[in-house]
Amino acid sequence: MSSFRDKPHVAPFVGPPWYVAAVWLLVAVVAQATVVHFLAIRGVVPSLVLVVVVWYAIRVDVRRAVLYGLAAGLCEDVLAAQSGAAWTISTIATAALASVLSRGFFADSIPLAAAVAVIATLVRALLFWTIMSVEGYPSGLGAMHLREALFSAVLNVSVMIAAIIVARRFDTSAA
């Protein structure tokens, strides 16, 4: 009996399988690098990579979210010119934050996903531009970046809500 009490409780993994998450990340990275710029509204595009990272992070524990954020950030830094490690660092932190914020909630909750997407977008933009300024990016463009981050948050929330609604529509496990 005492041997059962000595073992720590480990919650079962409820996130998507790794290959599904990898495919979604690959699709998001390719779309972000090739076609999403055609969807620009007032110079701002939704970040499909961020939406996928938040989607995954609200479903898994912090460790898995950080690893997924690392993969997503590395993909963005590889495709971005002269960003250094800004996307990697900001995406890792954002994934960890999204995972922590979603503890105790249903992952397909639209209000939760919307709130986490807004917070994640703003925190990621703040971290990215802070890191870029440390790397030597010229200062003085804070108002423009804030406007873009706020508008990007609206676009990211729209994409996140649309994705949840579509996923609910095609979910076969509820039938």
Strand partners, 44: 41
- Spatial CB neighbours of 37, under 8 Å, sequence gap ≥ 6: 45
- Spatial CB neighbours of 67, under 8 Å, sequence gap ≥ 6: none
Burial class (CB within 10 angstroms; exposed 0-12, middle 13-18, buried 19+) of 3: exposed
Asked whether the predicted pLDDT for residue 51 surpasses 90, the reply is yes
Q: What mean pLDDT comes out for the span 102-125?
A: 88
Asked whether the predicted pLDDT for residue 173 surpasses 80, the reply is no
Integer Cα distance of 44 and 153 in angstroms: 10
| Cβ-contact 47, 121 below 8 angstroms | yes
| Residue 11: predicted pLDDT | 55
- Spatial CB neighbours of 147, under 8 Å, sequence gap ≥ 6: none
| Residue 57: predicted pLDDT | 93
DSSP helix/strand/coil, 44: strand
More confident residue, 137 or 173: 137
Q: Which domains does the chain have, with CATH numbers?
A: 2-169 (1.10.1760.20)
